[in-house]
A and B are shown apart, each in its own frame.
Chain A
Amino acid sequence: MTLALIEPLAQPVLGAYLLTSAVLLVIGVVGFLTRRNLIIMFLCTELMFQAAALAMVAFGRYHLDLSGQVFVIFILTIAAAEAALALALIVLLYRRKETLNAEAWTEMKG
């Protein structure tokens, strides 16, 4: 690690990183709400994970605390587990109805 990288991070720079992360999160939320393809909806949750990871690393960099980066490793783990299960479920659903349309499953609302 070079010495330049442990210089303090200015607050506006932290704010800029957090804002980028917030924008990515919101795009993920909007995508999850508006898209009707099951796989794209799950991709949007991955986008939200990505935004959270960015915010955590930025905060960790500001406080010079590596817990944020360690937490991102756990996020990666959970994202991998979630992708495996969600994609297995999607394959299962696709075999039943031959479509990826989320609205094909509205009868599950009860």
Chain B
Amino acid sequence: MAPTILYSACVLGAVGLYLLLRPAPRAVTAAGGLLALGGLAWLLKQVAVGFGPGADVGLDPFFVIFSLIAVVAALRMITHSRPVYSALYFVLVVLSSAGLLLLLGAEFIAFALVIVYAGAILITYLFVLMLAQQAPQPGEESAQPEYDLVPREPAAGAAVGFVILALLSEMIFSGVPQLDPALSGPEAETAVWVELEQMPGRFEAEINAVEPGFRFPPERDPLTGRLIRVDEQGAHVLGLVAESAEVVRVDLPESAMPENVQRVGWWLVHKFPVSLELAGVILLMAMFGAVVLARREIELSDDEKREAAGLRRLALEGYPEADSEPAGGGP
């Protein structure tokens, strides 16, 4: 694929985004939106032809829909002049990228994104937005402040952004074909089954569900050293059952295969335990930091501090009465 096509798609997107960012009549903005979207869709279409002949795979229609929604919502998010709408469009970006993650088979991450981003973080943003909303002054025709209407250096911003996009997409087109080929189906299946045999308790429970009298441990595969063997009939283990000395084959049902949530949890605590602890510490520190930063300073006199601590007031002669003027709510 010629890089010029790539770069012209990026330039098209940049011009469209510039038109979108500038405050302009509705028709110009709409044209800019179409132009930007056209450039980006062209870029996406290059994927089908960009990997040489024979690599032409049809993209999943759900992928196309979700990614277009994500891109359009992201464009609207940075161009909308009302911050609350921007935040709501970001929720749409989160929802559609959760859809993309579902297509990739990452169910846990998809739902965690919706719950944590759309549910928690964005609501915090909305709270702050509404806290910082200025009431329209009487006599002013527009309630929106000027800094939301006029962007800063839209041409330079769009240019820088699309230079980055041109470089990134060039890297994607030249780099992805050089990646190691993905594992083929059977190898991938074996890799997932191997995780089951490392999950303590569950492995035994799954075998016991099929063959109650199974004697652990099962025999190891002499070649791979694994307990679970995978062949054309599916995954199975070999071992002794009850008192008989005969080796039996126990087939594991497909439902015994670890699911995405179980695998993510296992990887999290088995491979990254220290990072997990550190994440907890970071969250605690962020909580302290937010409390310290956002609290109001309240000036207290000595007497009020004593009162707050449950002590008797100092009733000295000549002192002004402490509660004659209660301390204000800070600055």
Residues of A within 8 A of B (CB): 1, 3, 5-20, 22-31, 33-37, 39-40, 42-44, 46-47, 50, 53-54, 57-58, 60-64, 66-67, 69-70, 72-74, 76-85, 87-92, 94-95, 98-103
Tell me the interface secondary structure of chain B in the complex.
Answer: helix
Q: Is B287 an interface residue (CB 8 A)?
A: yes
Could you list 14 A-B pairs, sorted by A, with CB under 8 Å? A19-B47, A23-B40, A34-B152, A36-B150, A44-B77, A50-B93, A57-B101, A63-B183, A76-B117, A81-B286, A84-B287, A87-B128, A91-B128, A91-B132
Chain B interface size, as a band, is: 35 or more
Q: Which residues of A contact B240 (CB under 8 A)?
A: none
Q: Is B90 an interface residue (CB 8 A)?
A: yes
Tell me the interface secondary structure of chain A in the complex.
Answer: helix
Which of A53, A60, A80, A91 has a CB less than 8 Å from the CB of B131? A91
| Complex contact A57–B106 (CB within 8 A) | yes
| Complex contact B294–A91 (CB within 8 A) | yes
Number of A-B contacts (CB under 8 A): 295
Residues of B within 8 A of A (CB): 17, 21, 40, 43-44, 47-48, 50-51, 55-57, 59-60, 63, 67, 70-71, 74-75, 77-78, 83, 86-87, 90, 93-94, 97, 100-101, 104-106, 108-109, 112-113, 116-117, 120-121, 124-125, 128-129, 131-132, 134, 145, 147-148, 150-154, 156-158, 160-162, 164-165, 168-169, 172-173, 176-177, 179-185, 188-189, 191-192, 254, 257-260, 263-264, 267-268, 271-272, 275, 279, 282-283, 285-287, 289-291, 293-294, 331
